[in-house]
Amino acid sequence: ELKVEQNPLFLSMQEEKNYTIYCDYSTTSDRLYWYRQDPGKSLESLFVLLSNGAVKQEGRLMASLDTKARLSTLHITAAVHDLSATYFCAVTPSGGGADGLTFGKGTHLIIQP
Amino acid sequence: GAVVSQHPSRVICKSGTSVKIECRSLDFQATTMFWYRQFPKKSLMLMATSNEGSKATYEQGVEKDKFLINHASLTLSTLTVTSAHPEDSSFYICSASLDSSYPNYGYTFGSGTRLTVV
């Protein structure tokens, strides 16, 4: 059974602080996805990490992938209130697009002024 | 590009009735679409994989006779919740996979349908 473990599941932090969300997974896939979900909304794609050592950055968010350790991280730099949301990582059994995604439980992030 | 349009966004139905949710790929052809369910404050769970022109593949524990999936064309997949009960109340989201030619490579998601069964 494919497992995706995210931690922490809940994170309350102050603006301007840095923090990291961790995603451990059990598949041998070399592809991992990060999504953002706002309350009552669907998913917004943040990053698609395609290979070992991949690092992608967008604004204050940076994601990395270590396929050997089966670990991905989502790092938040100098957090701002607008980043408050729930963040999910997800993988597929094979890495390809023919399979549906298995999601982590999500990290509910609250950024306080 | 690569937008999936999902309707309705919100539906309230009486227990015992059926509800149909539609997902259309607006500017691409979706050979495969995926249906997910999300309960409040929970993660997304894959329900089934829908393939154009063939029967859907359901995940373990998902009742195929209750959640009817039809993927009759390359741009439309539907999920019908039959004989809905309050425990079926959830947020249903469809998705399609995209190849590397798309900026949002990976998977694109519909906007979701909030189903409330009363």
pLDDT at A81 over 70: yes
HEC per residue, chain B? CCCEEEECCEEEECCCCCEEEEEEECCCCCCEEEEEEECCCCCEEEEEEEECCCCCEECCCCCCCCEEEEEEECCEEEEEECCCCHHHCEEEEEEEEECCCCCCCEEEECCCEEEEEC
Residues of chain A with C-beta less than 8 angstroms from the C-beta of B43: 88, 103-106
A43 touches chain B (CB under 8 A): yes
More confident residue, B117 or A93: B117
Q: Per residue in A22-65, pLDDT tens? A: 999 998 877 899 999 999 999 999 999 988 889 999 999 999 99
pLDDT value for A95: 67
Mean of pLDDT values over B96-111: 82
Q: For A42, which of B43, B45, B111 is closest by C-beta distance? A: B111
Whether residue A102 and residue B46 make contact (CB cut-off 8 A), yes or no, is yes
Q: What percentage of chain B has pLDDT greater than the value 70?
A: 97
Residue A110 has pLDDT above 80, yes or no: yes
With bands split at pLDDT 50, 70 and 90, how would you rate the model's confidence at B104?
Answer: low
- Residue ranges of B 52-111 with Cβ closer than 8 A to chain A: 59, 93, 95, 97-99, 104-111
Put simply, the answer to whether B93 touches A43 (Cβ < 8 Å) is yes
Higher pLDDT, A16 or A99: A16
The answer to whether residue B5 scores a pLDDT higher than 90 is yes
Contact of B32 with chain A, judged by CB distance below 8 Å, is answered with: yes
Q: Measured between CB atoms, which of B32, B44, B49 is closest to A103?
A: B44
Whether residue B100 has pLDDT greater than 90: no
